[in-house]
A and B are shown apart, each in its own frame.
Chain A
Amino acid sequence: MQVGTMDLVTLVVFGSWLAPALASAENADKDYDSPFEYDYESLRIGGLVFAVVLFVLGIVLIVTKKCSCSSDKPRPKAPDEETAVPIAQ
């Protein structure tokens, strides 16, 4: 019965000593791993923005250039006036 309480105290003392050690070990891991971490989220966002910008630019290019080009084109020639007069139809 006294053995149980004594064990508990030893466990608590041991644990409280271990915790900061564990904490510091975690911090060290973080710094150690940093060359292996990469910010994929901002990469994705950046990439998607790039994709949307290019897409819109392409559409704009088509739409505006088509308008200005068609005003430059000469009016299509009116078809020659020829009739075939039907004979006694």
Chain B
Amino acid sequence: MFSLSLCFQVDNSSLTGESEPQSRSPDNTHDNPLETRNVAFFSTNCVEGTARGIVICTGDHTVMGRIATLTSGLETGKTPIAKEIEHFIHIITGVAVFLGVTFFILAIVLGYSWLEAVIFLIGIIVANVPEGLLATVTVCLTLTAKRMAKKNCLVKNLEAVETLGSTSTICSDKTGTLTQNRMTVAHMWFDNQIHEADTTEDQSGASFDKSSVTWLSLARVAGLCNRAQFKAGQDALPILKRDVAGDASESALLKCIELCCGSVRANRDRNKKVAEIPFNSTNKYQLSIHETEDTNDNRYLLVMKGAPERILDCCSTIMVQGKEQPMDEELKESFQNAYMELGGLGERVLGFCHTMLAEDQYPKGFAFDTDDVNFQTDQLCFIGLMSMIDPPRAAVPDAVGKCRSAGIKVIMVTGDHPITAKAIAKGVGIISEGNETVEDIAARLNIPVSQVNPRDAKACVIHGTDLKDLSQDQMDDILRNHTEIVFARTSPQQKLIIVEGCQRLGAIVAVTGDGVNDSPALKKADIGVAMGISGSDVSKQAADMILLDDNFASIVTGVEEGRLIFDNLKKSIAYTLTSNIPEITPFLLFICANIPLPLGTITILCIDLGTDMVPAISLAYETAESDIMKRQPRNPFRDKLVNERLISIAYGQIGMIQAVAGFFAYFVILAENGFLPSKLVGIRLNWDDRSVNDLEDSYGQQWTYEQRKIVEFTCHTAFFVSIVVVQWADVIICKTRRNSVFQQGMRNKILIFGLFEETALAAFLSYCPGMDVALRMYPLKPSWWFCAFPYSFLIFVYDEVRKLLLRRNPGGWVERETYY
């Protein structure tokens, strides 16, 4: 809090987002401590001047400290993908426990002992749990995170990779995120006309007509009446990238003039400064007196710039097309209109004027006194206006457009003024052409604001002070009914309230920001996105994702990758779950039909943790089936990762065919060895009995325990290989959920690699000498490999037909029952 200040200015951009330095004085102008002029804040920068004051708050009680407490006290909820995986785990656990308990009871009923029944229970649960799935999901997310890192999106939290894909609302900060955070000259008014300047970063925009003499005078005044300078040693850098010593507006003017008219320093050297009155808030202008470069002319040049209305008051004439004309009402009227228009665009407007001081009154060597003004400061010649704005970043309008066509709502939340915020929102596309706020409608129809039907206004701009008075229901109402919303003059606490409001309505919220004032919102959001280069460390800490090149358009990339990985995870899970059925059914038949065990636990693990891993991971490399950016964001309550339809396909349809394939191979081997299927039913007790060494088969041959067990383990190996063979077909059909495989193509090289490796591993496990001792897996005769081929083909044909029906009858029974 200040007791004394002298031309004191602070830059509050790290706290409130205002890019313009604010002047401070000892007067209490406002109740709100953020608005009043006699308070400065911890961690903001002082730009110029001197002041003396007393400290009123320290540490946690400062505004900065309160933001820090707010941020650290927030609990981040679960990410959407974590919720989905939890839901999926519940389903799988339910099925596993249900089957396990059912068969436990069945086993007891059938007369097995307690211990045996418990062993069956455990075996069934092991077969039900997809052991490799956790590794698969982690690898898929990691691959996506790597892909995003290549596109300059650094993801700090692995699960956040998918969150952007589910996002339905983006709350974006303005300064530094949507805008470049540097003031740039946008418009000029001279010769009774508004001219547009080029605000793009690489000077690719349209240029204006520079031939007018008025422009030359304007440029001269802007260059001379300016205390900003380029820092030394930057001649090699392009003008826009150079560092400037001086305040934001003067830097903007300096760069503009340098770009248009050449070296300002040379111009200043030619027109030496003799005296100057710096800008102060009482006068609201800045004035300097120069010697002209014309050596024959001994007159002094007085140039002045400042607030437009003050400058106009000091002027009696106006320059039009290079000629001085007396100021008349018509010209004053057009000046007012221009000023209104530029102000309405949210730009900061400055007026410029000059005069040549008469030689007789002010001869060469005249001592100009700046404290006690001894020269004329009126009867000047008005030249024109220049207005400045912090322009939007180049990639932002496009990115906002893409987000909106992807069904994502974009809301601007800023600490800056409503008019600037609205202007930027219009420039960026958050408020689209043709959408009006209630104020716009009132102005257009010339009726008071209260008479406007709120339903007509699709857009609205809400001031922070109004936000304080809103109840939760009113806030929900606003968020629900308006598609284009701008919140201006919001405090960090209010940003948090806005995010919470959106989340209450069931949206998944992404917050983008770069300053300290954004950090509570960044933390609370489902995904916080911070700017990497210009962002503060606090915001980078609070965020889940960092845009390394500050490119807002990377958010579109994030959305695309997130949606893609969600789809691919579905496919991967469907693939992995399918092999559960051919793993469980041997156990079930073993218990119920008393046949020798068709598939052992070691072989189950060889499938889940061995051969199924690479194909499941390879599904993460699948390309999108249709344009994912044209879809609506998924509804977190209805569109689940794993739903009943996926389970029905995996367990009920494809899984069953796979189980039949396995059993077919099993029966074929036993039959070839002499045990016809009819003989097998009920043989279990004798088969597993070590003491029975003369078990007779269908042909009367007698088998010792060891011999039988070798045949049994050969059957396990064959069942395992059959599962591998049918999983070839499964991975190919899981590539697509709707398109035909022929449409999608086999461009996924990792998948083909997976198929080869899977088969190589299966062959290795079967044929490697020593496997019979180590894992009890035996070499298979080549003909037994082919047992499962017809079933593999059947799976392929079945699913292609299903997808064909699905495509032909959108919304029909097939889609409702089987499209996952």
Contacts and interface: CB of A to CB of B under 8 A. Distances in A.
Interface string B147-185: 000111000000000000000000000001000111000
B636 interface: no
Interface stretch (B470-478, B580-588, B759-767, B787-795): B759-767
Nearest to B175: A84
A47 B182 contact: no
A43 B781 contact: yes
A85 B234 CA distance: 14
Contacts of B763: 47-48, 50-51, 54
Contacts of A51: 760-761, 763-764, 767
A52 interface: yes
B45 interface: yes
Contacts of A48: 763-764, 767-768
Contact of A79 (B152, B182, B752, B779): B152
Nearest to A65: B749
B201 A79 contact: no
A88 B779 contact: no
A14 interface: no
B550 interface: yes
Contacts of B769: 44
Contacts of B779: 40, 43-44, 47
A55 B21 contact: no
Interface residues of A, number: 32
A55 B550 contact: no
A52 to B, nearest CB: 7
B182 A88 contact: no
Contact of B394 (A43, A82, A84, A85): A82
Contact of B45 (A43, A84, A87): A87
A62 B244 contact: no
Interface in A48-89: 48, 50-52, 54-55, 57-59, 61-62, 65-66, 69, 76, 79-89
A52 B761 CA distance: 9
B394 A80 contact: yes
Given A43-B767, A88-B45, A82 B760 contact: no
Interface in B545-585: 549-551
Interface residues of B, number: 51
A13 B533 CA distance: 106
B744 to A, nearest CB: 17
Contacts of B45: 87-89
Interface string A23-56: 0000000000000001010011011101110110
B749 A61 contact: yes
A61 B201 contact: no
B568 to A, nearest CB: 19
A83 B48 CA distance: 23
A71 B21 CA distance: 50
B541 interface: no
Contacts of B780: 47
A67 to B, nearest CB: 11
Given A55-B756, A66-B749, A79-B551, A84 B533 contact: yes
Interface in B732-765: 749-750, 752-753, 756-757, 759-761, 763-764
Q: Which residue among A52, A82, A86 has the maximum number of chain B CB atoms within 10 Å of its CB?
A: A82
A58 B244 contact: no
B276 interface: no
B251 A85 contact: yes
B648 interface: no
Interface string B352-368: 00000000000000000
Contacts of B551: 79-80
Nearest to B614: A58
A87 B201 contact: no
Nearest to B242: A85
B393 interface: yes
A57 B152 CA distance: 34
Contacts of A44: 767-769, 779
B395 A80 contact: yes
Given A85-B244, A87-B47, A58 B393 contact: no
A58 B753 contact: yes
Nearest to B9: A88
A87 B550 contact: no
A55 B767 contact: no
B201 A81 contact: yes
A86 B240 CA distance: 13
B752 A47 contact: no
Contacts of B241: 81, 83
A87 B21 contact: yes
A50 B48 CA distance: 79
A87 B248 contact: yes
A38 B781 contact: yes
A39 B781 CA distance: 10
Q: Which residue among B151, B181, B395 has the maximum number of chain A CB atoms within 10 Å of its CB?
A: B181
A57 to B, nearest CB: 6
Given A48-B763, A84-B180, A58 B756 contact: yes
B231 to A, nearest CB: 11
B13 interface: yes
A16 B647 CA distance: 75
Contact of B182 (A52, A76, A85, A89): A85
Contact of B47 (A61, A69, A83, A88): A88
A51 B761 CA distance: 7
B767 A82 contact: no
Contacts of B251: 85, 87
B579 to A, nearest CB: 20
B390 to A, nearest CB: 10
Contacts of A62: 749-750, 753
Nearest to B13: A87
B708 to A, nearest CB: 15
A79 B769 CA distance: 56
A42 B656 CA distance: 35
A3 to B, nearest CB: 43
Contact of A47 (B150, B240, B757, B767): B767
Nearest to A59: B753
A82 B176 CA distance: 11
B505 to A, nearest CB: 34
B508 to A, nearest CB: 28
16 contacts: A38-B781, A43-B779, A44-B769, A55-B756, A61-B753, A65-B749, A79-B152, A80-B551, A81-B202, A82-B393, A84-B176, A85-B243, A87-B11, A87-B251, A88-B48, A88-B247
Interface of B: 11, 13, 19, 21, 45, 47-48, 150-152, 176, 180-182, 201-202, 240-241, 243-245, 247-248, 251, 393-395, 533-534, 549-551, 749-750, 752-753, 756-757, 759-761, 763-764, 766-769, 779-782
Given A62-B749, A80-B395, 19 more contacts: A38-B781, A44-B767, A48-B768, A50-B767, A51-B761, A52-B760, A54-B756, A61-B753, A62-B750, A65-B749, A69-B749, A80-B393, A81-B201, A82-B550, A83-B241, A87-B21, A87-B45, A88-B11, A88-B48
Q: 9 shortest A-B CB distances, which residue pairs? A: A47-B767, A58-B756, A51-B763, A54-B760, A79-B549, A84-B534, A55-B760, A51-B764, A84-B181
